[in-house]
Structure 1
Amino acid sequence: MNTSKKDETDRATILVVDDDVGNLEILGGLLQQHFDVLIAPSGERALQIAACIPKPDLILLDVLMPGMDGHEVLARLRDDPATSAIPVIFVTGLDSVEDEERGLKSGAMDYIAKPYRPSIICARVRTQLELKRARDWLADQNTYLEAEVARRMKENEQAQLQLLQSEKLAAMGQLAAGIAHEINAPAQYVNNNVQFLKDAFGHLLPLCGELRRLLESVKTDAIPSEVIEALDAAIAKHDIVYYEEEVPDALAQTLEGLERIGAIVRSVKQFAHPGSLSMAATDLNEAMRTTALVSKNEWKYVAELKTDFDPSLPLVDCMISEINQVVLNLIINAVHAISEAKEVDPQRTGLITLSTRANGSWAEIRVSDTAMGIPPEVQPRVFDPFFTTKAVGKGTGQGLAIAHRIVAERHKGQIFFETQPGQGTTFIIRLPIAQQHDTQ
Structure 2
Amino acid sequence: MSPAPTARSDLSETVLVVEDSVLLRDVVVHTLQDHGYRVLAADSGETAERLVATAPRPDLVLLDVLLPGIDGFELLRRWRADPATAALPVMLLTALHADTDELRGLQLGADDYLTKPVQPLVLLARVRTQLDAARARASLRDQNARLEAEVARRMAENELVQDLAIRALAHLAETRDNETGRHLQRTQAYVEMLAQDLHDHGLFADALGPRQIRLLARSAPLHDIGKVGIPDHILRKPGKLDAAEWAVMQTHAALGAQAIEAAERDVDGAVDFLRLAKQIAHWHHERWDGTGYPDGLAGEAIPLAARLMALADVFDSLVSPRVYKRPMPCDEARAVIRQGRGRHFDPVVVDAFERCYDAFRHIAAAHADGPDNPGP
- TM score, norm. by length of structure 2: 0.45
Per residue, is there more strand in 1 or in 2?
1
TM-score with structure 1 length normalisation? 0.39
Higher-RCO chain (CA-CA 8 Å, sequence separation at least 6): 2
Q: Which one has the largest radius of gyration?
A: 1
